[in-house]
Chains A and B, each alone.
Chain A
Amino acid sequence: MTNHWTDLANVDYFLVIGSNPAENHPISFHWVTKALENRGAKLLVVDPRFSRTAAKAHFYAPLRSGTDIAFVNGMINRILENDLYNADYVKYYTNASFKVNAAFRAYMEAHTPFPGTFPGLNTSANPATYDKTAWGYQVDPNTGIPLKDDTLKDPDCIFQIMKQFFSRYTPEVVEKITGCPQATLMQITDEYAKSGAADKAGTIMYAMGATQHTYGTQNIRAYGILQMLLANIGIAGGGINAMRGESNVQGATDQGILYHYLPAYVPSPTNTQQSLGIRAIGTDMVSTAGSKVVTSAASNFSNLSVAVNDILVFYAGNNTGNGIKITSVDSANQLTLQYAVNKAGTGQSFMIIRAGSYLAANIPVTNDPQSINWWHNRSKYLVSMLKAWWPNQVNVTAGVPTGAETAYNYLPKRSGDYSYISLWEAVHAGTIKGLVAMGMNPAVGSPNSNRTRAALDKLDWMVIMELWETETAQFWKRPGVDPATINTAVYLLPAAAMVEKEGSVSNSGRWCQWRHKAVEPPGMAKDDLWMLNQFYKRIKSRYQASGGAFPDPILNMNWNYEGTEGIPEAAKVSRELNGYYTADNTVVQNFTKLTYTGSTACGNWVFSGCFASADKVEQNMMDRRDNMDTSGIGLYSNWAWCWPLNRRIIYNRASVDPKTGLPWDPSRKVVQWSTADAKWLGPDIVDGGATNSGIVTESSYRLPFIMNNDGMGRVYGSFSLADGPFPEHYEPMESPVENILHPAQPTSPCVYKYPGDTNMQLNVFGDRSKYPIVGTTYRVAEHWQAGAMTRNLSWLAEVQPSMFVEMSLELAAEKGIANGDQVRVSTIRGSIEAYALVTGRLKPFQMNGQTVHQIGMPWHYGYAGIAKGDSANILTPSVGDVNTRIPEFKAFLCNVEKI
């Protein structure tokens, strides 16, 4: 979430799309209900099915599963056509005024109607990839700063390109694609667009209904664009709010559980990045404004073998945050750069990054003096993390980190696709032979789960830490399987439940809240930290005893979490996440204190500050329990702690009018620039430096979107995503209809295609003649995820005891199915049996002269526990989102028949 749960009480317009908060995030309704009651807020719900959330809505729009982009693009089009956007915000805070390379417009003009592919597609690769050169900004050849047209009239500026692009999404077209009546689309748009007023706030609440598509990331891009146009980012009651499906999934993501990240959103290295890449650091760079030549008083660049195409990054001094490519090494202490530096200065801190290294790939550069370009600090975060993990490798010698490359070499380098579906394919292929599953139930939760179950059969060993004997724990004796045929050694370790262990839990709003142990775990059950500690110690002793292929990373690792009697303590982990000074082992105040020299160690920079009340003063900030709110907007800043820096609403610099530095809406003040004090005032912690001016005409003014190197909210993603700078409507891999926008390019061109396996139905998609019905999966209020936590409790089994499939009265009549009948649902991958729940809450879609039926079902059930049932994921395809590889659970083709 850019905002947080309690902030929902500040909302005027809720757009709930791709989620069902009344059922899946019921606590959110504590705050939603407050906004409805106290502010007269309006609730707009877009969902294929009339859900419990829809039942509370002022406006409800149905849409066929998988057509969110068409719907939201239709909203964007109407907002652009009718000038319903917030012109000031768009001009000052988004990249709408930036000019795009002329080649982009040339391509778009030459390819009318839009063929479904952007310029630069290389289809010979799998997945197909884009050469994004044409998507880039036009830049000033001398300064490298993007060219803009503040009037938004230049045909190459993003605003104009955008208008053209979205103009295809007329209400008629949107109706034909989504099945949502035009009038409903227009009504929802006009209502939601009211949130574009400076004194109104609109929020988007989304969840897996948005992300679990092959174009899921682009769904979220569309939401982001909508929110930018309506000035809803950075303000109280606004934002783009991903409601996480588990109490601590935000924490898991923060700690690097994603396959392509180390902790704290630092990308994990790939095998093409063999060096970390710190070539030189120093504090003596001299620059002259407007000159491309910089000199160093002390550094000898020739000796340091600084080379052309290396990057010079300024870390402190007048040009902080800027990074420029080196075009020649003129003499021992003089460099020529691609662009002229902005400001004159002496004694500036700098780093020279080796071309082709990890840092060169992961430190975004800009030469815009107004852009803070926060990610230039990534070098500090990675070096501090390496120092935390391998303190004896990373050392500071005369202010220079030594041994950082050694520690970097300890990090595994990605050499392929380690995303979820691919991991299971590797198990199938025998590449992966063992599995450690911690609180994970893939036999129920995986797409195409018959295939996942078959993969489990191939494991040599599996360790599973669980509260119950889940489907995965007992895969070897599942229905239809003879245990004698399974050779996997299965170890089930009894685990402590949430109230039986101590530690931090990070909610969707980034609040990290300390949880104390309420009761001892039963029997032999242990908490996760205890188990991981044992894992580490035992693995280490094995390496010590008998060596191994590459023992150094294990043997040299810092692992110091044990307290009394050898019991590891969660607080010790948190202290490491917070970070400390290596010289005296006192805690750092927060991540602004971190360095790239090895003088600080920090396990997770976004968590830095969670364990310090001031510099060198230790306090578990997450354990704070002051529930008084003095902000007037429900920040509750002294309750627990929130990353980053206890900032409750991120990008909050955008909540002020840059002409005055004062809030767009004084009644909802998040921060404000005080000219008298020459600093930002609260109630929240401002994003992007407390003394950088908030008034656009002042020289110390800084742009609000500090995590983007252009400093702007992006209504056009110049490079960020794999599949295009704008969200385009594609059909799911299994779709009941043609793509009416571009029949020749029905699905996303960048989908990764697994090698076919007709036996197991991999990369095989159902035909609409055989499987004409759209299927989707979801959760219900009464069960949780793959069901272990709830289907094992009789009270929760009672409230939703059986697997069911929801279908419309019309489809039921067509198929001769009555409410409560036993039915079979099948896809090309498999079939399941369930009770039919015939309801008026689903309706067939009338689209483009065609009737399309949709059914839906919960995915919670399996063959273990008190409440059992067939798993819906037997039906879902193993194909992933282009950018994140999250599986396409939410739209597939199926058929249904009475048993």
Chain B
Amino acid sequence: MTEKAIFIDTSKCIGCRACQVACKQWWGLPAELPAENVAGSVQFQYKFSGSYQNPGDLSHQTWNLVRFKEEAGSDGKMKWFFTPDRCRHCKNPPCQEGCPVPGVIVKDESGGVYYNVEKCGDCAKQCAEYCPFGIPKFDGDIRRAFKCRFCIDRVHEGKTPACVKTCPPGAIQFGDKTEMMDKAQARLAVIQTDNPEANIYPGFDYNNFWLLLYAPEKYSLAQADFTRKEKARLAAARTSRKPFTVAGFFKPLTYLGMLGGLGLAFFRRVDAGKNPEGKIDRHGK
């Protein structure tokens, strides 16, 4: 397989969050609806994020999150930035360096970086500590890390990732990396005439890159911080780490099914049993 890349053209993103939902749908990830705890309240049932950005951050159940940020420009004109945030699929993934268990973190021939859930386990979460963008998130209950998987299963079947397939304006594109780089560069040249700050983020050393109209901070996208890795290394050396064990390892069904049974296209079925009221879906499955 030729090396692939995801190119997110923010000039085209309309913040509709179809990609965010498509990611959850494809991977069968449950919704996060933190309770507000106002007794008996219909209107104040859930915690309010104060923004269109929901849930508030990436998590082990949210691998692709559309970030929203607004700003009144110096010219008095309003700006509203939105773009999906997720794993950048680094060339030499720092997260992989951090992981003590061989074979958990794989840099695939497609360019995608995915985590083998079955092998992932009870460690000190170094992947998250090492990642310069703070992407992997840990599920405290089952003690495994999760993040965007480049829809590796789809890609190996010759399909585009779920988020790419869904995006209405075609803001997320997928294809051979060289082709994506060419597209990004050509588009940058056009966009730059009206947007002098336009840039490619984080760069072409990644298999997921963005065309941004402004600096990444404007979109709440983290700048790569490679010192995190060093800090984590030092911190790990200071503390005695809990040893990793595979024994007694329980693999919940949800995650077992993830890489295998992927005929999960029909949304209501995937969502079964996961809503906060404990209801099952209409089909009773």
Contacts and interface: CB of A to CB of B under 8 A. Distances in A.
B15 A52 contact: yes
A50 B268 CA distance: 33
Chain B residues touching A, majority SS: loop
Contacts of A798: 31-33, 54-55
A27 interface: yes
A820 interface: yes
A763 to B, nearest CB: 28
Contact of A833 (B44, B55, B268): B44
Interface stretch (A230-238, A423-431, A789-797): A789-797
Q: How large is the interface on A (under 10, 10 to 19, 20 to 34, 35 or more residues)?
A: 35 or more
B80 A795 contact: no
Contact of B70 (A795, A820, A840): A840
Interface string A833-851: 1110101110000000000
A contact face: mostly helix, strand, loop, or mixed: loop
B52 interface: yes
A835 B168 CA distance: 29
Given A793-B271, A866-B277, A802 B17 contact: no
A327 interface: no
A208 interface: no
A869 B43 contact: yes
B49 to A, nearest CB: 8
A26 B168 contact: yes
A53 B168 CA distance: 14
B32 A50 contact: no
B82 interface: yes
Interface stretch (A29-37, A73-81, A318-326): A29-37
Given A22-B16, A794-B33, A841-B70, A867 B168 contact: no
Contacts of B170: 30, 33
A522 B268 CA distance: 11
B274 A802 contact: no
B47 to A, nearest CB: 8
A22 B17 contact: no
Contacts of A523: 282-284
Nearest to A866: B275
Contacts of A782: 17
Given A30-B169, A781-B16, A841-B70, A795 B24 contact: yes
Interface string B81-100: 11000000000000000000
A52 B82 contact: yes
B20 interface: yes
Contacts of A802: 43-46, 48
A209 to B, nearest CB: 17
A870 B38 CA distance: 14
Contacts of B30: 794
A799 B20 contact: yes
B51 A837 contact: yes
Interface string B198-213: 0000000000000000
A803 interface: yes
A661 to B, nearest CB: 38
A359 to B, nearest CB: 46
A52 B12 CA distance: 11
A566 interface: no
Contact of A804 (B14, B48, B169): B48
A522 B18 CA distance: 26
Contacts of B50: 819-820, 835, 837
Interface string A775-811: 0000011100000000001111111111110000000
A56 interface: yes
A868 interface: yes
Given A50-B78, A523-B284, A22 B44 contact: no
Pick from B30, B31, B43 the residue with the most CB of A within 10 Å. Answer: B43
Nearest to B20: A799
B168 A30 contact: yes
B33 A833 contact: no
Contacts of A841: 70, 78, 80
Interface string A374-397: 000000000000000000000000
A833 B31 CA distance: 24
A816 interface: no
Given A26-B18, A29-B168, A795 B43 contact: no
A832 interface: yes
A195 B275 CA distance: 50
Contacts of A820: 48, 50
B33 A801 contact: yes
26 contacts: A22-B14, A22-B15, A23-B16, A33-B12, A33-B170, A50-B78, A52-B14, A54-B80, A60-B78, A468-B282, A781-B17, A793-B268, A794-B30, A798-B31, A798-B54, A799-B20, A801-B48, A802-B45, A833-B43, A839-B70, A840-B72, A863-B42, A866-B277, A868-B43, A869-B42, A870-B42
Query: What are the 6 A-B residue pairs with the smallest beta carbon separation, nearest first?
Result: A798-B31, A794-B31, A794-B275, A55-B80, A22-B14, A33-B169
Given A796-B21, A822-B44, 11 more contacts: A26-B18, A522-B284, A782-B17, A795-B21, A795-B24, A799-B54, A801-B54, A835-B44, A861-B43, A867-B33, A867-B45
